[in-house]
Structure 1
Amino acid sequence: MENSTDIIKKIAVVGPESTGKSTISAQLADYYQTVWVPEYSREYCSKLTGPCSWEDEINMFKGQLALEDELLPKANKLLICDTTFITVKIWSDHVFGKAPEEVLTELPRRHYDLYLLMDIDLPWEDDPLRNFPDLREYFMTIWMKELQALNANYSVISGTYDVRKKNAIDTINQFFNII
Structure 2
Amino acid sequence: MVRVAITGPESTGKSTLSRQLAEHYGTAWAPEYARVYLDAHGPAYTLADLEEIARGQLAAEEVAVAHAQRVVFVDTDLLVIKIWAEHAFGSCPAWILQQLAQQRHDLTLLLNIDLPWEPDPLREHPHMRDYFYKVYQQELRKLGIPFAEVGGTGEQRLVQACTLVDKLLAMQREA
TM-score, normalising length: structure 2: 0.94
Match of 1:9 among 2, 9, 19: 2
What is the aligned length?
172
Unaligned runs of 5+ in 2: none
User: SS of 1:134's equivalent?
Assistant: coil
Q: What is the CA deviation profile of residues 98-157 of structure 1, one whole-angstrom value per residue up to 9, with x for unaligned ones?
A: 001101111121100000100000000000010000000011011111111221111100
Match of 2:103 among 97, 110, 118: 110
Partner of 2:21: 28
Partner of 1:134: 127
Identical aligned pairs, as a percentage?
38
What pairs with 1:8-157 in structure 2 (closer than 5 Å)? 8-49=1-42, 51-157=44-150
RMSD after superposition: 1.3
Structure whose residues are more often helix by fraction: 2
Partner amino acid, structure 2, of 1:121: D
| CA apart distance, 1:90 | 0.5
User: SS of 2:41's equivalent?
Assistant: coil
| CA apart distance, 1:174 | 2.0
Partner amino acid, structure 2, of 1:144: Q
- In the aligned structure 2, how far is the partner of 1:140 from the partner of 1:161? 19
User: SS of 1:176's equivalent?
Assistant: helix
Misfit runs of 4+, over 3 Å: none
| CA apart distance, 1:29 | 0.2
TM-score, normalising length: structure 1: 0.92
Partner amino acid, structure 2, of 1:105: Q
Partner amino acid, structure 1, of 2:39: S
Unaligned runs of 5+ in 1: 1-7
